[in-house]
Chain A
Amino acid sequence: MSQNRNLTFGQRFLANEWSALAVAIVIGLVTLATLSSAFLTEFNLYVMLRSFCVVLIVAFAQMLTLAVGQMNLSVGALGGLVAIAVGGMMEKWGFPVPVAILCGLAIGAGGGLINGLLTVRTGINGFIITLATASAFTGINLGITESIPFYNLPASFVAFGTGRISALPYLLLPPVLIAIALAFFLARTVPGRQLLAVGGNPQAAELSGIPRDGVIVMAHTLSGLLAGAAAILAVAQLGSAQPSIGVDWLLMSFAAPIIGGAALAGGHISVAATALAVVLIVIIQNGMVLAKVDPYWVQFLLGALILAAVGLNRLRAVRAGGA
């Protein structure tokens, strides 16, 4: 932006949408490192990074629907379905691990495709559509498993979920690759830009010859694909395919993109800020554990954090509008 060239580094930093997040993260790190000797140990860092992985991909799954001004209430339900499908394929049918993973991703993308097509074809609000499909996906999940997890998963798969190089879990690799791919997709490819264009001004996008409905279907499909990826990672992390995977994803999936400055109306999301938001959430959760705070209070804090982040963005928007 041309008018930013005259600003000092400090001013530019403050104008940046993730500056507040970066500051909060640094404060959190310094505080916890000072207060708790356990915080900076290799094992604790490993634990934090490990819990970062699934949440990040879940946040990305929601972020993509937010990008087009939609939402996906079925992230967790779809994740649960993919988790038990992958577990079942490996335990009951003896599928090789890569095949099971690919099938799982396909189920995730398929679920997202259904969400997208239903939204576009019926013209019904995506909120209702994904609320309904969420219930349907959960129903299939519980119908198949009768709530009994799959425990006997291939050793190589489970080993991937627990392996690490000092503080770095193997599990961190997929989310990092996904983050890089997503950032590139949204910044440099035609479908990625079309996704943001449709979110930014649907009518303008359509008049510019962008297939609006197709783009919305794509966003939902990618969202489902990522929900599936998160589920597979969660199975590897837990070492078993629990039907309950995904039940606690919904709040987090909205919290991270929104704390990262996403506009609910669409058209404005940030991969980096969403990732930073997840880092902040993980640090807070870890800090509460180290401080032996009742985990239920983490919920409360997360709520407060969402409100604070949204308030901050609103303030920034009002100020920018007046300039």
Chain B
Amino acid sequence: MRLTIEGIGKDFPGVTALDDVSFEILPGETHALMGENGAGKSTLIKIITGLYRPDRGRLLVDGKPVDFTSPRDAIAAGISAVHQERNLIPRFTVGENIMIERPPTRNGVIDFDKVHSEARRFLDMIDPTIDTRTEVRHLSVAQMQIVEIAKALSLEARVLLLDEPTASITGHEADALFAVVRRLRDEGKAIVFVSHKLEEVMAISDRVTVLRDGRIAAAGQPIAQMDRGKIVTAMIGREERVAEMGTRSVDRTKTVMEARNVATSLGHKNVSFQLHKGEILGLYGLVGAGRTELARALIGDARIVSGELRLNGNPVTIPDVPTAIRRHRLGYISEDRKAEGLILTHPIRSNIAISVWRRIASALGLITRADERRIAHPLVEKLEVKTPSIEQAVGKLSGGNQQKVSIAKWLAAGVEILIIDEPTVGIDIKTKTAIHELIGEITREGLSVLLISSDMPEMITLADRILVMRDFAIAGTIENTRRYEPMSREIMGLIHAGSADAAPAAETAHG
């Protein structure tokens, strides 16, 4: 089956996620789809699998236009996918999950013996050790991933999309998966393989398509004509994309936060770093490298099991998040602003003042709007939040202005260290620059920032030094020269170090 993607475009409020994307997926090939985070891969996959409908362009199956209104349509057309999110029913058995789309029946009744024997057949292709009668909720994450792949196989799709299929499985399991992928390809199926891991892509793909900023950077190039360098160049773009930040001078004599050989309950090992006053310390790594998890451990949301965390030179144990904020003046802005950071239906005023309600409350515990306004108004002015009124519901603001409100909230709380996770995800280029300037400015005023970002240009624009994380450990620390080309190559080198010369089997499982 030939799947043609023709001039596909998709807009979200304020962002063009995909623009004029065209390429073709052929039967009997493994087609890698690559791109940095936010390049538009996920959106494209959701369009191909019927979750989103494109605003422009169309999909063609064997030359005939198709219009998918739901995942059912895509499955019926022979397209199935293993998505990054877990898509299993926790209380159903492995076998039933694999066969869920069309369970074998006899006289209208599900034939569970056949469910399990059929499921067994698909599971055996990858991992014969999983019992099909186990409930999925009792499996490990890696086992769930394998079940998902078996489930996709059972749909006998002619186009199979694998979105980061190796993100949570071991090298051994990945080898088994690749063998299956090769076999399916040889049977004439089209495999779309989405991965961050260059070595994997080089090893099993026939052709590669690269997306950058929602556009095609390389369309269906034969892998034989590509090498690592060419793919990286296509992903990050040739042109210098680092904005001028002005000269930054950081006084490195004063260390505000220091980790010494920290291990966490989430699986980090030997994490050591120093964050200086007024510094922006970058934390770069692939999805799943353990960056957000490290932030959670630092703010007391997960335990530090060994090693030492020092704040302003004093060893501390942070039992929970409120203590981190109140006693240690340590704040965290989540990547998921909407779910974890802001109360969307409440006005800007109370979203900013929420962190200081205890402080501004009167003796009777009452909080007045005037008090909240006194806190919020200067910050809204200072951070240039674009809004008709301070009473505007935060949900009605653009992503960039929501992010400003998040930062304002922590400034109001008087934090000294701020961990910012993916500050500009889903934010348009212009506002992005404004957020970057804002982060630069608050550090000049003495705040220290630990910046988590998967956006390479952002990292190189903002960070003074960059910690590169891989597999829940620090792979290296780089002084930022702010020269894009050599910096990005050095970072990519650290991320892929160790796996560069070895087979994909050398990739180890993540915590």
B residues less than 8 Å from A188 (CB atoms) = 109-110, 112
**For residue B100, which residue of chain A has the nearest CB?**
A208
Indicate if A210 sits at the interface (CB-CB under 8 A).
yes
Chain B residues positioned under 8 Å from A211 (CB to CB):
70, 72
B87 in contact (CB, < 8 A)? yes
* CB within 8 Å of B: which A36-82 residues: none
Contacts of A210 in B (CB 8 A): 100-101
Q: Is the CB of A209 within 8 A of B75?
A: yes
Of chain A, the residue at the smallest CB distance from B87 is A204
Determine if B86 is an interface residue (Cβ-Cβ < 8 Å): yes
**Closest chain A residue to B72 by CB distance?**
A209
CB of B85 closer than 8 Å to a CB of A: yes
* CB of B35 within 8 Å of the partner chain: no
Contact pattern, A 207-245, Cβ under 8 Å of B = 1, otherwise 0? 111110000000000000000000000000000000000
Question: Of A1, A193, A200, A206, which one neighbours B110 at CB under 8 angstroms?
Answer: A193
Interface size of A by CB at 8 A reads 22
Interchain CA distance A205-B71 in the complex, whole Å: 10
Contact of A193 among B51, B87, B96, B138 (CB under 8 A): B96
CB distance from B364 to the nearest CB of A (A): 32
- Using known A-B contacts A189-B110, A190-B105, A211-B72, determine if residue A197 contacts B134 with beta carbons closer than 8 Å: no
Within 8 A of B (CB), among A171-198: 188-190, 193, 196-197
B49: min CB distance to chain A, Å: 8
Cβ A197 vs Cβ B110 within 8 A: no
Query: Is B71 within 8 A of A206, CB to CB?
Result: yes
A203 within 8 A of B: yes
In whole angstroms, what is the CA distance A204 to B89 when docked? 7
Do A196 and B110 touch across chains, with their CB atoms under 8 A apart? no
Instruction: Tell me the bound Cα distance from A47 to B85 in angstroms.
Output: 52
B108 within 8 A of A: yes
A208 touches B90 (CB 8 A): no
- Asked if B52 lies at the interface with its beta carbon under 8 angstroms from chain A, I say no
Main secondary structure of the interface of A (DSSP, over half): helix
Chain A residues whose C-beta falls within 8 Å of the C-beta of B91 in the assembled complex? 196, 200, 267-268
Task: Note all chain B residues with C-beta closer than 8 A to A206.
Answer: 70-71
- Give min CB distance, A318 to chain B, whole Å: 14
Q: Is B357 an interface residue (CB 8 A)?
A: no
Cα distance A201–B88 in the bound complex, in angstroms: 7
Given contacts A1-B135, A190-B103, contact A204 B88 (CB under 8 A): yes
Assess whether B89 is in contact with A201, with CB atoms less than 8 Å apart: yes
* Interface hits, B69-107 → A, CB 8 Å: 70-72, 75-76, 81, 83, 85-92, 96, 100-101, 103, 105
A8 contacts chain B at the CB level, 8 A cutoff: no
Of the candidates A193, A196, A207, the one having the most CB atoms from chain B within 10 angstroms of its own CB is: A207
Q: Is B337 an interface residue (CB 8 A)?
A: no
Measured CA separation A209–B157 after assembly (Å): 13
Q: Mark A120-161, 1 if CB is under 8 A from B, else 0.
A: 000000000000000000000000000000000000000000
A2 at the interface (CB under 8 A from B): yes
Residues of A within 8 A of B100 (CB): 193, 197, 205, 208, 210
Q: Bound complex: CA of A197 vs CA of B100, how far in Å? A: 9
Q: State the CA gap A114–B295 with chains docked (Å).
A: 48
Residues of A within 8 A of B (CB): 1-3, 188-190, 193, 196-197, 200-201, 203-211, 267-268
Query: Could you show 7 A-B contacts with beta carbons less than 8 Å apart?
Result: A3-B138, A190-B110, A196-B91, A197-B100, A200-B90, A201-B88, A208-B71
* Other A-B pairs, 7, CB within 8 Å; known A197-B89, A204-B88: A1-B133, A1-B134, A190-B108, A196-B91, A203-B85, A204-B89, A208-B71
